[in-house]
Chain A
Amino acid sequence: GENVGLHLPTLSVQEGDNSIINCAYSNSASDYFIWYKQESGKGPQFIIDIRSNMDKRQGQRVTVLLNKTVKHLSLQIAATQPGDSAVYFCAENEWGAQKLVFGQGTRLTINP
């Protein structure tokens, strides 16, 4: 696949279980955070975002938690399905800077 992922953290979960993917960010001035999903050979796909004035946001089967005190972001995926297998990236954006700064990425593998 596109991401050999030799240095990517990996997470393996059983189909139907919940997954939690973690991300630490470094810029205390970042105020907008996004989770992207990237499948092999494709571009990053938007999953969910959160702004710094919130600490939790829910979507369909996904929840993002933001802890600004320890600069930590997490993505929770409920009832994981085979189609959730991908590399997941967190990204941060500092107000006024426009560009996204991406984290290392985590490869999620779903076991049947």
Chain B
Amino acid sequence: GAGVSQSPRYKVAKRGQDVALRCDPISGHVSLFWYQQALGQGPEFLTYFQNEAQLDKSGLPSDRFFAERPEGSVSTLKIQRTQQEDSAVYLCASSIRQQETQYFGPGTRLLVL
């Protein structure tokens, strides 16, 4: 069946631009996660949704980062006024319920110039 999909796969932004990254989780998955992966590192947690409720946003690095999942399905991660240090791969994962296996999408590679 269809896995987690993300778009765009690649995004180049000029410093100061706003970007929006989309995640389509596996159909029926209640839990949705965003992670940030720097080059050569493991993914690091950003935020977590259960249905439309954002239950944990402790990993968001600054108030320039904002995530939403208004209908409990598709999620968008928005980064305002992008900085060079925001360059990374942004990964979305979903799981059927809490404490179950998280399945990852292919990621969006963001490059801020």
Interface residues of A (CB under 8 A from B): 2-8, 32, 34, 36, 41-46, 49, 89, 91, 93, 95, 98-105
Closest chain A residue, CB of each to CB of B89: A2
Which residues of chain A have C-beta atoms less than 8 A from B103's C-beta?
46
Q: Which of B80-94 contact A (CB under 8 A)?
A: 89, 91, 93
Interface bin, chain B: 20 to 34
CA distance A45 to B107 in the complex (A): 12
Interface residues of B (CB under 8 A from A): 4, 31, 33, 35, 39-45, 48, 55-56, 59, 89, 91, 93, 98-99, 101-107, 109
Closest chain B residue, CB of each to CB of A41: B106
Main secondary structure of the interface of A (DSSP, over half): loop
Chain B's nearest CB lies how many Å from the CB of A50? 11
Decide: B42 and A5 in contact? CB cutoff 8 A: no
